[in-house]
Amino acid sequence: MNDMPNLNKMGEATRLTRAGRLTEATVLLQRMLRGETVPDMTSGAAGEIAHASAGREPLIIHASASAIEEKNRPPSSRFGINSRLADVIFAGAATTAQPQMVSGLGALADRAKRLRSGLGLPGLAERAPMSTPDIVPEGGQFIDATYSNAAGSRAYKLYIPSGYHGPAVPLIVMLHGCTQAPDDFAAGTRMNVVAEERTCLVVYPAQPRNANAAKCWNWFRPGDQRRGQGEPSLIAGITRQVMRDYSVDPQRVYIGGLSAGAAAAVVMGATYPDIYAGIGVHSGLACNAAKDLPSAFAAMRQGELRGAFGSGNISAIAGHGSAIPTIVFHGDRDNTVHPRNGDHVIAQSKRAANLPKTVHHGRVPGGHAYTRTIYSDASGRTIFEQWDIHGAGHAWSGGNRAGSFTDPRGPDASREMLRFFLQHQMPAAAT
């Protein structure tokens, strides 16, 4: 379905909101949700992009997850609206609108997401109530903390396993997707449960609404793609603060994420290769895949790269030295972040190295089939892994339905990600 007519109408709703015509913007969105015909607008998304190019603050855009955990919902085409576009209008409007209007637009965006099934796939589990064992295994702790620097402040939650008694342990940094929060992400991925088994610390930085109205990491903004600036400096600062305050093995620090969080994790690997010994990317994008609103749309929708290095050029990234071991998961029916982006992450990580590869095919009993491609160095050590999950959409593979944006039908991305991480450590000379 061509989303441009609705994108233009949402651009008009953003313009109305910024002009203070809040009632008209709300009515426009409501008519779109009902599937009614809305007159063509002369000032839409193209106008917003043009203004952004002229120096205005661009709309906030993010890799919004399709809520495929909801089943038996009508497809989005019946309502004439795409939930990701609803997120865009909500996020853009929230930069300037009054609080009550933000709340109203957020409710409309949420309704749009509830009215669609993501990929329209049957049989996916409805979300279950969240319970304490989903988040904090028995004997563990999940504590709140905050980090601040010149770029701002971010809250985070840290999971401390019951087996942590002082000796240095691995640390995993987990970056949530859009609309998510640490508790939700921990419940959905069950990473705390897996970390409890392996005695690892897990830290979950939280993106607040005042940084992005949909709580997405701003992976596409040039200022949030550089070492020592913006969100990378905050995430690195959180990592270092935990390393300072707890007994962490500096050679075994890793970072992973989902969607916008996965894109941010790739940025962190590129900008802070001296901290992270491995990267986990679930439904994410390559570093510098986008530099603004239109290039972000292109990367998400078609897997086209129009970022800082131009279309098709993904070999140059901010990191130096040897490539960081990377594991990638992507559903081949992801209609929010194009599956081609998983290929770009691997290609960027390899940096044109001609590594031998092996391909394995499998199926989770009662769940998804998958193709697992392994790239190894001359010694036979796995450096990169790519999991193409057949029939899966934009959701954490093997996740717990107590969290949002999960697909319980596997494979288990959390266990595979941690297994991959613990096979790698930072060379001693780099610590």
What pLDDT sits at residue 323? Answer: 85
* CATH code of the domain containing 335: 3.40.50.1820
What pLDDT sits at residue 64? Answer: 39
Whether residue 318 sits in one domain with residue 221: yes
Whether residue 151 sits in one domain with residue 94: no
What pLDDT sits at residue 134? Answer: 81
Query: Which parts of the chain have pLDDT scores under 70?
Result: 1-129, 131, 305-321, 352, 429-431
In a domain, 62, yes or no: no
What pLDDT sits at residue 300? Answer: 92
d(CA 340, CA 416): 21
Whether residue 195 sits in one domain with residue 84: no
Whether residue 78 sits in one domain with residue 32: yes
Q: Which residues contact 51 (CB under 8 A, 6 or more apart)?
A: none
What pLDDT sits at residue 133? Answer: 80
Using DSSP, state whether 411 is helix, strand or coil. coil
- Please tell me the total count of domains within the chain: 2
Whether residue 378 sits in one domain with residue 311: yes
The end-to-end CA distance of the chain, in Å, is 50
Burial (CB count within 10 angstroms: exposed 0-12, middle 13-18, buried 19+), residue 47: middle
What pLDDT sits at residue 29? Answer: 55
Our answer to whether residue 162 is catalytic in this structure is no
User: Mean pLDDT score of the chain, rounded to an integer?
Assistant: 77
Whether residue 191 sits in one domain with residue 288: yes
- Which residues, in sequence order, are bridge partners of residue 207? none
Burial (CB count within 10 angstroms: exposed 0-12, middle 13-18, buried 19+), residue 364: middle
What pLDDT sits at residue 298? Answer: 86
Q: Considering the candidates 66, 117, 259, 414, report the single residue annotated as catalytic.
A: 259
What pLDDT sits at residue 8? Answer: 57
d(CA 44, CA 125): 37
d(CA 238, CA 364): 36
In a domain, 126, yes or no: no
Whether residue 39 sits in one domain with residue 162: no
What pLDDT sits at residue 353? Answer: 75
Whether residue 313 sits in one domain with residue 178: yes
In a domain, 336, yes or no: yes
In a domain, 416, yes or no: yes
- Which residues, in sequence order, are bridge partners of residue 201? 171
Domain of residue 309 covers 138-430
Cβ(384)–Cβ(350) below 8 Å:
yes
Whether residue 276 sits in one domain with residue 387: yes
In a domain, 128, yes or no: no
- Provide the 8-state DSSP code for 285: -
